[in-house]
């Protein structure tokens, strides 16, 4: 069985080299809207999505995330960063799952419109710091929320040269 969605699932890859040109408004809106169609527990639509394109803020987010990870450029030079926040998982246990589904939808949508993306972690740690809380205020995000994850987003400058084969026994059917 094959169709465009299944093909996109097989072809999408994490992109770690981006062209400097900014993502078009049309493509960005398509990606953001795709995130809003992700399923969420109880239909609460708990995640909050913030796209950042302002170069000084992109650089600041990159630096803060890098300080948590110990990597100088964790967003790989992407011109757009999409942040996903949710209720603190201690308060709403489904927050991580809901935000993860939003990120997954946006990654597939990015691929579908010719963009590259890479899931970036450490947002929970980054936005728990005093500087991270200050950044949340600057972005208009309620400080009680937690960082769930982020996407580096842009036009791919290169693609991974090969695809790892899927492991044996990855799935099974019990009847």
SS (H, E, C) 4-49: HHHHHHHHCCECCCECCCCCCHHHHHHHHHHHHCCCCHHHCCCCEE
Q: What percent of the chain has pLDDT over 90?
A: 90
How are strands ordered across the β-sheet holding 145-154?
48-52, 80-87, 145-154, 116-120
pLDDT at 136 over 90: yes
pLDDT digits (tens, 9 = 90+) for 92-121: 999 999 999 999 999 999 999 999 999 999
Residue 162 is predicted with a pLDDT of 81
Please state the rounded mean pLDDT for residues 48-75: 95
> What pTM was estimated for this model as a whole?
0.95
Domain range summary for the chain, segments of one domain joined by +: 26-120+134-154
Q: Domain 26-120+134-154 adopts which CATH fold? A: NADH Oxidase (3.40.109)
């Amino acid at each position: 069985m094959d169709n465009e969605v299944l093909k996109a699932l097989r072809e999408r890859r994490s992109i770690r080299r981006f062209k400097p040109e900014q993502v078009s408004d049309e493509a960005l809106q398509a990606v953001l809207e795709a995130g809003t169609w992700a399923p969420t527990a109880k239909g609460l639509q708990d995640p909050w999505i913030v796209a950042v394109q302002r170069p000084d803020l992109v650089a600041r987010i990159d630096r803060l995330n890098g300080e948590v990870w110990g990597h100088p450029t964790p967003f790989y030079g992407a011109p757009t960063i999409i942040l996903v926040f949710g209720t603190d998982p201690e308060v709403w246990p489904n927050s991580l799952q809901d935000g993860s589904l939003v990120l997954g939808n946006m990654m597939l949508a990015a691929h579908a419109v010719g963009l590259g993306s890479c899931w970036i972690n450490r947002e929970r740690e980054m936005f728990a710091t005093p500087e991270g809380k200050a950044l949340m205020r600057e972005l208009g995000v309620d400080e009680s929320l937690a960082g769930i994850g982020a996407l580096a987003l842009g036009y791919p400058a290169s693609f991974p040269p090969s695809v790892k084969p899927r492991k044996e026994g990855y799935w099974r059917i019990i009847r």
